Structure formats: structure tokens, C-alpha cells
Amino acid sequence: MVTLSSELNQAFQQFFQQLNQTTDVPPPLLVAWSGGLDSTVLVHALRHYVAANNLPNDFSTVHVNHGLSPLANDWQQNCELLANQWQIPHKTLVLSLDAGANLEARARRARYHALALHCSEQACLLTAHHQQDQAETLLARLFQGAGIQGLSGMSSLRPLRSVSNNIPDKSQWLGRPLLTVSQQALCDYASENQLTWVTDPMNSDTYYERVFMRSELWPVLAKRYQYPTASIAKTAQLLQQTLALLTEYQNLDWQVWSQNALSFDWPYLLNMSWPRQQSLIARWFDTHHFLSLRRQHWEWFQQQAFEAEPKRHPQILVAGLPMQRYQSRIYYPAIAPVFDIPITDYEQLQEWVNGHWPIELNVLEDLYVFPLRLRNRQAIDNFSGVSLKKWFQSRGVAPWLREAWPVVDSKAGCFLLGVN
């Protein structure tokens, strides 16, 4: 008979309480199973917890074979063998990665993309990050000079889409139910239940930051402090609470700020302190583009975007794409969307305008005949004249948007969207 320790049982209770408060219906649970000790314990323990508590969540596992280690097929077979033995629905995903720079980062992006595609809608992908992983995350970010958001570490539940910008489904979740569980508790559980697991040879290579921490740093800290990992992980938890409080206050600014996914109003920020400005801009980039700005970007805001003469339109690259100030708004990316799509009804047209066009447009339903075709303005289109130029100027439309303005093609004729 399997008995969960109080530490594991409490961690699962807290996680499912949070999950049930966040989701409308009990989501399917999909455990990312590497075959190592941590994920093997998570699979075994959670399977028994779900069954013992008669939880309605579907439960399955998935293994990603990156093909980067000579032992990759052995790890895959170990997971498949145990899944069959424990009667757990299981799937293996095989990736093909080219050699080259940033292989570890590329492997992570590819892994999460593959996992997201495998997940069903509203599913919750579970990983086995535990207390020591949380403490190592905080320390790594501390040494990189991170602020409160970085130092708050990993959250126990967040949208899966937030970990990578190539995940399309907004309804999937990423859960980490073991963040409060110590490494020792996982080892004890594995021993008591006679579990078998695989060991990655890279876990002994101190070239990697986390391996260095485990082999060099933690033993030193343990000589002076009784529970260093637990204390540091607790700090991350307290910082998460502080960050949540700051976010509540920030929401007051966010709700009245004129912004969308492609641009925001910058004069609104000028009466605020720099930290307040910075936090809103950082949230905008994180929310809409999953990006963190670097020092040169913040200097650009202070020295150019907020200080340049009105007739100037300063620009800087962010992740290889231009960010530019034009009149009262800052655009990112400062390029016009490229599109040529069929629109079947007014609701679809309004949804496209709200989600894909950088500035607000007044789109009246009775002006359009559906279905219609929506495309970029082209050089051969006969839209010109002083009145059109004045219309663009009076509304502060950036030059790159004027040239690619949405054009409606329908039985009623061909005309510029929202222009009157």
C-alpha cells in the first residue's frame, strides 16, 4: 500500500485547491516525465493521490526524447516500461534538433512547444520542479541582478503559454505541485516505494550552473545554515506575495492606460515615478510579447522616447524588431501587420481589428457587406489625395501603417477600413 508523506500530501492538497479555484472544470493532468528521480516520484505519488481522493481529473504522462544523449532511447524505454507496469496512459514525443549554438535553450523551446501541441485544450501540464529547484532559480537570478519579479522564482500554476511565445493555446496551464517539497522527501519516497529511475550523466558536470550549485554551493551553505534551500525557497514565496500585492495596485493604472497588443500611450506615464513607469512597460512587454527589456531599452525610454522633440520619432530594436515612438504612442513592433484574409461576419471583423491592428478603429456594422476580403493597402490602389493625408495626420497614424492600411474588398466595392 502506498502512503504519502505529510509533506507530499500537503503539497498536493494546496496545489489542487489552487487549480480548482483557477479553472472552471477539472482539467486533464499530463505529467512531463523525463525518467529521472523527481518526475518518477511525481508520476507515482500523484497517480495514487488522484485515485485515493477520487479526483475527476484524467491522468496521463508524456516523455520527450530530444535525441541529444546516447542514453535517450534507454530513458524513453524506461518510462514506457513503467507506464505499462503502472497502467498509465503514456505517450512519447520525439524531437529532431540540429547541432549549433544555444542548444539547451532551443531544446527547451522545442520541448514546451511539442508538449503544448500534445496537451488537450484546458489541460494542465505538470513538471517535477521542487524546493531545491526553486532555491536555485532564485540564486541564479540574484547573481544576474534580477528584480522582484525574477527573484520571486517559479510559480506553482501559470498559463502554459507564458513560458514560450510559440505556444498558441491560451487555455492550457503549467503546474508545479512539488515546489514546497524537499529533495530529501522525494528521495525518501523513492526509496520506500522501491522506485527505479534513470540518471543523466550531465547531472555530474559542474559546467552547468545548477550542477555547480548542488555539488559545490549547497554543501558549503549547509555547514553554516541549517535549512538553506528551504529558507531561500521561502523567500521566493514571500516575494511572490509581495509581487501579487504590487500587481493589485498596478492594475489600477493598467485598467485606465490606453494600450493594446501593438502600441501604448506614453504621455500617460510621464506624471509617474520612473519605477512605476518601468513596471507598467515591463508588464506590457511580458503580457503581449513575452519579452524582458534590457538596460539599453530602459535607457532609450528615459533618454530618447520620453525626452525627444515632438517632431522626432526615435527607434530602437527589441528582439530584432523595431520599437518606435510616433506622436503620442510607442509601437512594438513598429511594422504593419501583413494580411489577406476572408471575413464572414461583423464579429470576426471587430475581433481582427481589436487583436491585430495597432490603433483603434471605428468600424460600424451597417457599412459592410459580408462576406468580404480584408487585405493590406497596395501601391496600385487608387486611394490618395489631400483629404486622406489630412485624415491620417489628424489621427496621428504612423507612416508605416498608412502604407499598409486595411482595405475591404466586397460586393459593395473597395475602400479603406474605418476611414470616413
Q: How confident is the model at residue 400 (pLDDT cuts 50, 70, 90)?
A: very high
Report the C-alpha gap between 401 and 160 in whole angstroms: 32
Closest by CA to 52, choosing from 123, 2, 124, is 2
pLDDT of residue 84: 97
Look at residue 362 and tell me whether its pLDDT is greater than 70: yes
pLDDT of residue 77: 96
Closest by CA to 164, choosing from 2, 274, 172, is 172
DSSP secondary structure string for all residues of 244-273? HHHHHHHHHHHHHS-B-SSEEESGGGTTS-
Tell me what the pLDDT averaged over the chain comes to: 92
Q: How confident is the model at residue 165 (pLDDT cuts 50, 70, 90)?
A: low
CATH 3.40.190.10, applies to 6-239: no
pTM beyond 0.85, yes or no = no
Look at residue 420 and tell me whether its pLDDT is greater than 70: no
35 is in an annotated binding site: yes
Report the C-alpha gap between 260 and 356 in whole angstroms: 9
Look at residue 169 and tell me whether its pLDDT is greater than 80: no
pLDDT of residue 285: 95
Q: How confident is the model at residue 387 (pLDDT cuts 50, 70, 90)?
A: confident
Look at residue 327 and tell me whether its pLDDT is greater than 70: yes
36 is in an annotated binding site: yes
Average pLDDT over residues 325-345: 94
The rounded percent of the chain whose pLDDT value lies above 90 is 71
Closest by CA to 160, choosing from 168, 151, 152, is 168
Kindly report the backbone phi and psi dihedral angles of residue 197, in degrees, each rounded to the nearest multiple of 5, phi listed first. Answer: -150, 170
Q: Are strands 372-376 and 413-416 parallel, antiparallel or unpaired?
A: unpaired
Report the C-alpha gap between 91 and 34 in whole angstroms: 12
Domain ranges of the chain: 6-239, 259-331, 340-416
37 is in an annotated binding site: yes
CATH topology of domain 259-331: 3.30.465
User: How far is Cα of residue 220 from the mean position of the Cα atoms in its chain?
Assistant: 34
258 is in an annotated binding site: no
Average pLDDT over residues 47-52: 95
- Contact assessment for residue 204 and residue 216, using Cβ atoms and an 8 Å cutoff: no
39 is in an annotated binding site: yes
Closest by CA to 67, choosing from 107, 21, 29, is 107
Report the C-alpha gap between 315 and 235 in whole angstroms: 39
